[in-house]
Amino acid sequence: MSILINKNTRLLVQGITGNEGLFHSTQMLAYGTNLVAGVTPGKGGEWVLDGKVPVFDSVKLAKEATDANCSVIFVPARFAPDAMFEAADAGIPLVVCITEGVAVQDMMRVRSYLDNKGVRLVGPNCPGMLTPGESKVGIIPGNIAIPGNVGVVSRSGTLTYEVLYALKLVGMGASTCVGIGGDPVNGTNFIDVLEMFEHDPHTEKVVLIGEIGGTDEDKAAEFIASKMTKPVVSFIAGQTAPPGKRMGHAGAIIEGGAGTAEGKVKALQAAGVKVAKHPEEIPSLLK
């Protein structure tokens, strides 16, 4: 078992003929992901990846032909909002946006629209998801994780890889790893994923990787204290980061003193979470 993606996930790649799209589609297919279609406007009718994957002009056409139920987006930042709207309008229930650098006002409109449609968004600016041995949606290198009972959720990309790799080195595996992305406005948040892990029978322990900024880790701590029965281990990046450049008075008014690594660590510890000093310490805290 797993959350969000498994061997039944029928994946569509938006931007499949671009550099990054093609490279990572090759990796996803090689991993065993059920990659059913690609979309690049103007290239409909072509086949890519040694003739294994058909390309369509639009998500709607791809969905009609292949019944894809998840889309992963690799298009450049200025086109990514449109790609997310398109996937939602075509009836794709799970949209994963890898693209980094999407404008925040665009993301607020995307988030609002997708919420109204009941579409689940993961990202943007995220590494995607990996259910080891079943499905890889995004860019997490497949060979750094093995199947297991640890659910991993993270705001960071490459830091997530460190943790999966550290787990693998001691023979521990992941049920599913979800990279939710580090942008100020994104889709799925920590609490959404923690709730799914709590209800997933194959997830026995959870690793939460956070970083400075925002209040998501603090909210996750509240959720863990009140709703979670499974043990959670955490790491917060940015404990030595210099104080961020200030955002006028408005930032301070909205977020108050929240957002520091120290505050997040305290909140998580108060919720019974073991917090690692560095990512490679996580496996020993899970034992």
Interface residues with another protein (CB under 8 A) are: 20, 24, 27, 77-78, 98, 100-109, 111-113, 127, 139-141, 144, 154-162, 165-166, 182, 184-185, 209, 211-212, 214-216, 219, 235, 237-242, 246-256, 277-280
CB of 65 to another protein, least distance (A): 28
Shortest Cβ 179–another protein spacing (Å): 9
Helix, strand or coil, per DSSP, at residue 89: helix
Rounded to whole angstroms, the Cα distance separating 123 from 192 reads: 13
Could you count the other beta carbons within 10 Å of the beta carbon of residue 243?
A: 8
Q: Closer CB to another protein, residue 113 or residue 231? A: 113
As to burial, measured by CB atoms within 10 angstroms (0-12 exposed, 13-18 middle, 19+ buried), residue 204 is: middle
Kindly give, in sequence order, each residue whose CB lies less than 8 Å from that of residue 85, ignoring residues fewer than 6 positions away.
110, 113
Q: Which two tokens stand for residue 267?
A: 């909140």
State which residue, 1 or 241, has the beta carbon closest to another protein: 241
In angstroms, give the least distance from the CB of 239 to another protein: 5
The active-site residue, picked from 24, 202, 249, 278, is 249
With respect to another protein, which residue has the nearer C-beta, 1 or 247?
A: 247
249 counts as catalytic: yes
Q: 63 or 168, CB closer to another protein?
A: 168
Q: How far is the CB of 76 from another protein (least distance, A)?
A: 10
Triad 163, 168, 171: Cα angle to 5°? 135
Q: Are strands 205-211 and 232-237 parallel, antiparallel or unpaired?
A: parallel
- If the CB atoms of residues 125 and 149 are measured against another protein, the closer one turns out to be 125
Q: Give min distance, CB of 58 to another protein, in A.
A: 23
CB-nearer residue toward another protein: 8 or 143: 143
Determine the Cα–Cα distance for residues 147 and 204; give it in Å rounded to an integer: 13
Cβ neighbours of residue 217 closer than 8 Å, sequence gap 6 or more: 190, 208, 210, 234, 236, 264, 267, 268
Closest CA to 132 of 120, 140, 121, 124: 140
Closest approach of another protein to the CB of residue 270, in Å: 20
- Residues 6 or more apart whose CB falls under 8 angstroms from that of 178 comprise 3, 4, 122, 129, 151, 152, 153, 154, 188, 193
Q: Report in angstroms the alpha-carbon separations of 54 from 46, 80, 121, 241.
A: 6, 21, 24, 46
Q: What residues are labeled active site?
A: 249
